[in-house]
Structure formats: structure tokens, C-alpha cells
């Protein structure tokens, strides 16, 4: 093999040149050398594909309170090495416009026999995350738990694949974001406003989910009540919601819904209304609004959402119910 490499270098610019080994035997032509090169590259590619894997974290729910959430690792691809699943939880708190790591604090974590675990290494079993800290009732308190999964070689600890999920904590209301769901969102929501309102809708959807149970066909959002919301924003938001929740989108006023027969006797039998009632703040760095999720005169909630832009990223610090009927 060493001699073959020497002759490859000597013949690489010649199509039909004869080369010999040190003993003057085994004549090799450049065309043969090229074929050997291709074969070697194919072998390398095949080996590389064999070792290529991808991992995805999936959660059993999008939101929770005190009951926690279960994470399942999904592996795609093949690998011949012995591997281990290394789970890590990191907590960050938002304060005064910055995020601070709470690695050294008593943080929420994975369920274990001796309280919360910040790290777990296992062979691919489901892990459970649960709140351990006392809930902060400070208005606008926002924290993030970063769930990291590393697939590692068992013998060396070398990282072969990695995925992350985020658990947002708003005063004891937890919302789970997986990279799989975020990729789906990013494919559709491109504008800043569409992303913000899409996330607000997702959060409101998780509030009083009993209102969603009878949803059959429609979600109505009266975007005329939105401020500084373009046609492009509108199209992206409607596409995202229609695909994620498998519904037909409507953009009508309450009166139009009644006049066209969607709402009868103060009941939207086949759908749900999501509206913004008023803005408390609306500028390039802060949005604060009040709205409602409505299905009937005796099935509705009011909500407030507050968002702040930090380092070009919108953080929804508050999204909670204000009234129920």
C-alpha cells in the first residue's frame, strides 16, 4: 500500500504512464491508479455513512405545571460503537435585560431517587423532568431550562450527535420547545411579527385547553385588531396555524361570523375565536396586549401577553389568563 501511494503521486498528472515498484515488477498504469482511488474513497464514504447518526428529543406534552414532562430520545442512522445517552439540564434566569446561569444553584431537574439530577447517563430510556424549586410569583419572572442530550461513545465520551430542548418557566407555567417543533416553525414564520404572534398563539392555545376539545374546523383571527401587522405577517401566521393545528383559517369580525352563520346563539360550534382586544404597549422593543380565546358565551378566557426584545430575540415574559367564563 505504501508503494502504491508513492506511484500515485508520481503519476497523478499522466494519463498513460508506466510505473514500477522498487523491484521493477508489477507495472501500474495511471488509469488503474484512478480506479483504486475511487474504490478507496467509496470505502471511506460507506464507512462514514455507517457511523452517521442523528438524535431528536421528543416530549409527551407541550405545557405543564407541577406534574412535569417526559422526554424520549429518537435515534436515526447506524453506528457500530457502544453508545451512551448523556442528559444535561441547565437553568438560566432572565433579569435586568440579561440571562444568568443558575448552574450552581438548586435547580429544577430530572427525577431521581435523591431529588433533582442535573445529569443522567443511561442506555436510551425515557427521562422525566419535574419542577423542584418553589414557584416565583414575581410579576414577569421568566426562566429557561435547557435540556441537552448528547449521544457519546461509551469508551471515550466522544460526542457523536446532539439535540436540545427548552423549557420556559413563567411563574410556574411551563412550556416545552423541542428543536423538531422549532424547525417546523422556522420554515414558515420568517418575519419578526409573524414569529412573535405565532408564539403567543401557541401559548394561549395551551391555556384552558378544554376550550380546544370541541374544535373541528376553524380558527378565526381578526387581524384588523392587530397593530403594525403586514399582509406578509398575516399570510405566514395563518399558514403556520393552519398546518400545525389542521384547521381552516378565517379573518372576520365577530359580526361577520354571526352574519355568515359561523356563530349561532352565541356559540361557535365548529371553531374558536382568537382576538386582540387592546394594546398596552407596542413598539420596536416591547409588546403588551390583552386578548381573548372564545368559543361561546359560557366558554371563553381573557389573557395578557407581554414580550420584550433582548439581543434581537423576542422573549415572552408573561402569558397568562386574566378571566374565565
Are 161 and 54 in contact by the 8 Å Cβ rule? The answer is yes
What pLDDT, on a 0 to 100 scale, did the predictor assign at position 23? 45
**Is the pLDDT confidence value at 102 over 60?**
no
pTM score, two decimals?
0.77
pLDDT digits (tens, 9 = 90+) for 138-184: 777 888 899 999 999 999 999 999 999 999 999 889 999 999 999 99
Q: How far is CA 70 from the centre of its chain?
A: 15
136 versus 122: which is more confidently predicted? 122
What pLDDT, on a 0 to 100 scale, did the predictor assign at position 87? 98
Sorting pLDDT into bands at 50, 70 and 90, what band is 4? very low
- Average pLDDT over the chain reads 84
**Is the pLDDT confidence value at 257 over 60?**
yes
Taking each helix axis from N to C end, the angle separating 2-11 and 30-50, rounded to the nearest 10 degrees, works out to 120
Residue whose C-alpha is closest to residue 292's, from 210, 216, 219, 204: 204
The fraction of the chain above a pLDDT of 70, given in percent, is: 78
Domain 53-177: state its class: mainly beta
What pLDDT, on a 0 to 100 scale, did the predictor assign at position 101? 56
Burial level of 219, CB count in 10 A (0-12/13-18/19+)? buried
**Is the pLDDT confidence value at 17 over 60?**
no
pLDDT digits (tens, 9 = 90+) for 63-73: 998 889 999 99
Structural domain boundaries in the chain: 2-50, 53-177, 189-324
Cα–Cα distances in angstroms (integers) from residue 73 to residues 60, 84, 150, 157, 266, in the given order: 11, 11, 10, 18, 45
∠ CA 37-16-42, nearest 5°, is 10
Are 316 and 306 in contact by the 8 Å Cβ rule? The answer is yes
Are 130 and 70 in contact by the 8 Å Cβ rule? The answer is no
Are 305 and 203 in contact by the 8 Å Cβ rule? The answer is yes
Cα–Cα distances in angstroms (integers) from residue 68 to residues 71, 93, 109, 130, in the given order: 10, 19, 10, 4
- What integer is the mean pLDDT of 263-271? 94
Rg (CA), the chain: 28
Q: What is the spatial distance between Cα 232 and Cα 249, in angstroms, rounded to a whole number?
A: 15
Q: Which helix (H) or strand (E) holds 4?
A: helix 2-11
Strand partners, 315: 308
Amino acid at each position: 500500500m505504501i508503494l502504491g501511494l508513492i506511484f500515485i503521486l508520481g503519476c497523478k498528472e499522466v494519463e498513460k504512464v508506466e510505473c514500477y515498484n522498487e523491484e521493477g515488477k508489477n507495472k501500474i498504469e495511471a488509469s488503474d491508479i484512478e480506479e483504486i482511488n475511487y474504490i478507496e474513497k467509496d470505502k471511506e464514504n460507506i464507512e462514514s455513512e455507517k457511523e452517521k447518526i442523528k438524535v431528536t428529543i421528543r416530549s409527551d406534552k407541550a405545557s405543564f405545571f407541577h406534574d412535569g414532562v417526559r422526554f424520549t430520545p429518537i435515534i436515526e442512522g447506524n453506528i457500530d460503537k457502544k453508545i451512551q445517552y448523556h442528559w444535561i439540564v441547565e437553568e438560566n434566569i432572565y433579569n435586568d435585560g440579561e440571562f444568568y446561569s443558575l448552574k450552581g444553584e438548586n435547580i429544577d431537574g430530572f427525577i431521581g431517587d435523591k431529588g433533582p439530577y442535573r445529569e443522567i447517563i443511561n442506555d436510551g430510556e425515557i427521562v422525566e423532568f419535574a419542577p423542584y424549586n418553589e414557584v416565583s410569583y414575581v410579576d414577569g419572572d421568566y426562566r429557561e431550562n435547557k435540556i441537552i442530550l448528547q449521544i457519546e461513545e461509551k469508551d471515550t465520551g466522544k460526542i457523536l450527535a446532539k439535540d436540545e430542548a427548552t423549557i420556559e418557566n413563567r411563574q410556574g407555567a411551563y412550556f416545552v420547545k423541542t428543536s423538531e417543533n422549532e424547525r417546523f416553525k422556522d420554515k414558515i414564520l420568517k418575519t419578526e411579527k409573524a414569529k412573535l404572534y405565532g408564539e403567543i398563539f401557541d401559548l394561549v392555545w395551551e391555556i384552558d385547553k378544554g376550550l380546544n376539545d370541541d374544535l373541528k374546523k376553524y380558527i378565526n383571527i381578526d387581524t384588523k385588531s392587530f397593530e403594525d401587522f403586514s399582509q406578509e405577517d398575516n399570510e405566514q401566521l395563518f399558514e403556520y396555524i393552519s398546518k400545525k393545528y389542521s384547521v381552516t383559517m378565517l379573518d372576520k369580525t365577530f359580526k361577520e361570523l354571526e352574519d355568515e352563520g359561523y356563530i349561532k346563539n352565541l356559540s361557535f360550534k365548529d371553531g374558536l375565536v382568537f382576538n386582540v382586544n387592546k394594546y398596552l404597549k407596542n413598539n420596536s422593543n416591547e409588546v403588551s396586549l390583552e386578548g381573548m380565546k372564545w368559543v361561546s358565551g359560557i366558554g371563553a378566557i381573557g389573557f395578557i401577553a407581554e414580550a420584550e426584545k433582548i439581543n434581537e430575540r423576542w422573549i415572552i415574559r408573561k402569558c397568562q389568563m386574566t378571566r374565565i367564563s
